[in-house]
A and B are shown apart, each in its own frame.
Chain A
Amino acid sequence: MSMIKTENICTSFGKLDVLKNVSLAVEPGEVVCIIGPSGAGKSTFLRTLNHLEHIQNGKIFIEDKLLDYYENGERKYKISAKERNAELLEVGMVFQKFNLFPHKTVLENVMIAPVNVKKISEAKAHDKAVELLTRVGLSDKMDAYPNKLSGGQQQRVAIARALAMEPKIMLFDEPTSALDPELVGEVLAVMKQLALDGMTMIVVTHEMGFAREVADRVVFMYDGIIAEQGTPEQIFQHPQNDRLKQFLNSVIKQ
């Protein structure tokens, strides 16, 4: 059983085709890193997985359950909103801009979804939140407001917040791109531990070191398609696709 799978999905923004027949299957516990130049469609692809973007063609499966099936912009398969929402709860997301709730403390940020969506008791949610915040190294910041935290700390809170809903899959949309370089490490460390603990992760990233070290599979996207994919060794040491070679050269130059 795949954890999350897409079959030939296409997305367009107006006349611009952003995703062209993208098919990808991610196994439970697998860590997939998506790399590629700007505008390749990496973030768009990630966002179709939890419904933040719509597809016009193709199928999306979560835990082998068909969630979306579109043909030429028409929905071909009806699934009740209740069922869809239940499956989407298995997918957590961490954003480039963190998107913490500024009017809530760190602890409240982590508790708010379990209490209101899963109807978990405040006491239980509180204990879970404390456990998660300790896991990401922020147990001393629980009563602080997000605006008092550094970017790296905010992103770690965002990770804890997503984990509080106990998802089976975690999506990361360029989680460290908005961070000062010296703060990137602490976030990557948390993500690495998450991977070691067995979480299924799909990470859009420019951090090649992370991809090399932690990914089970690296997917190179270019111009709306998956141009090449393989193990980190295959992709970084023996790239086949010309565009991939070009991309890796430009990244190493930095």
Chain B
Amino acid sequence: METMQKMIGWIPQLLAGAKITILLTLASVSAGLIISVFLALGEMSKNKIIRSFCNIYVFFFRGTPLLMQLYFVYYGLPEINQALTINSRFLAAFIAYGLNSGAYCCEIIRAAIQSIDKGQFEASRALGMSYSQTMKLIILPQSIRRLIPPVGNEFIMMLKDASLVSIIALADITKVTRSIQSSTSSSMVYIPAMVLYLIITAVFTIVFNRLEKKYSVYE
């Protein structure tokens, strides 16, 4: 019972950490999604330079550990050039995670677009619509339904990946948990911490299930 009381005592700190975790996750994946639409369209572009740039971007961010990307943005950039120093740990994490998420979401978006029946492109062309009109009015709106499950997955994975920011001393749930652990010499704090992660994951899951239902009205 003493342990229970202790655990309840840790909750306010953990919740403060949760605020950072949730904010970082939502901001990074949202930014990543915006970047990824351009990347996905770029990968399908007829222009070789644009295509190559997008392929290289995706290759780099999927091919190196998020941990290293984070470290490099926060510690590595200032070493290259003082002007590149990012003082805010949160901002550094947001940049690294946003760019990373952009790469993973790009593949999700591209797959969603390419899963749309070719006949939709043909019908649009036959009606005289330009490529950009076809994308904007016909293809992308239909892609949204297809990308809800994998994007939901990306949010949920990013939630856990956010725990890496403890290495640049950003106070998310994991950093707070480890601080409490070292100051109390007890690992009991992991229990409420894990429960907190579970609750957040459950909320994301419910939200995405609802979104999926809402968009499947016409299929």
Contact = CB atoms under 8 A, between A and B. Distances in A.
Are A and B subunits of one complex? Answer: yes
A150 interface: no
B129 A113 contact: yes
A103 interface: yes
A101 interface: yes
B142 interface: yes
B123 A99 contact: yes
Interface stretch (A59-67, A89-97, A235-243): A89-97
Contacts of B191: none
A219 B60 CA distance: 56
Interface residues of A, number: 28
Q: How large is the interface on B (under 10, 10 to 19, 20 to 34, 35 or more residues)?
A: 10 to 19
A99 B128 contact: no
Contacts of B129: 113, 116-117
Contacts of A51: 125
B142 A50 contact: no
Given A102-B218, A103-B218, A116-B133, A52 B125 contact: yes
A113 B218 contact: no
Contacts of A203: none
Contacts of A54: none
Interface string A105-119: 000000011001110
Interface in B112-129: 117, 119-120, 122-123, 125-129
A99 B141 CA distance: 15
Interface in B89-126: 117, 119-120, 122-123, 125-126
A112 B137 contact: yes
A85 B218 CA distance: 31
Nearest to B138: A101
B219 interface: yes
A89 B128 contact: yes
Contact of A85 (B123, B128, B217, B219): B128
A99 B219 contact: no
A97 B119 contact: yes
A113 B119 contact: no
Nearest to A112: B137
Contact of B128 (A95, A117, A145, A146): A117
Interface in A71-87: 85
A80 B86 CA distance: 50
B120 A101 contact: yes
A101 B127 CA distance: 12
A147 B122 CA distance: 19
Contact of B141 (A50, A89, A103, A147): A103
A145 B218 contact: yes
Interface string B204-217: 00000000000001
Contact of B126 (A92, A97, A100, A118): A92
Given A101-B138, A103-B141, A117 B127 contact: yes
A162 interface: yes
A17 B122 CA distance: 23
A88 interface: yes
Given A112-B137, A113-B128, A113-B129, A101 B123 contact: yes
B142 A162 contact: no
Contact of A52 (B117, B126, B128, B141): B126
Shortest Cβ-Cβ A-B pairs, 9 listed: A99-B123, A113-B127, A99-B119, A93-B126, A117-B128, A145-B218, A89-B128, A102-B218, A103-B141
Interface of B: 117, 119-120, 122-123, 125-129, 133, 137-138, 141-142, 217-219
Given A89-B128, A101-B138, A102-B219, 8 more contacts: A50-B125, A93-B123, A101-B120, A113-B127, A117-B127, A145-B217, A161-B127, A165-B127
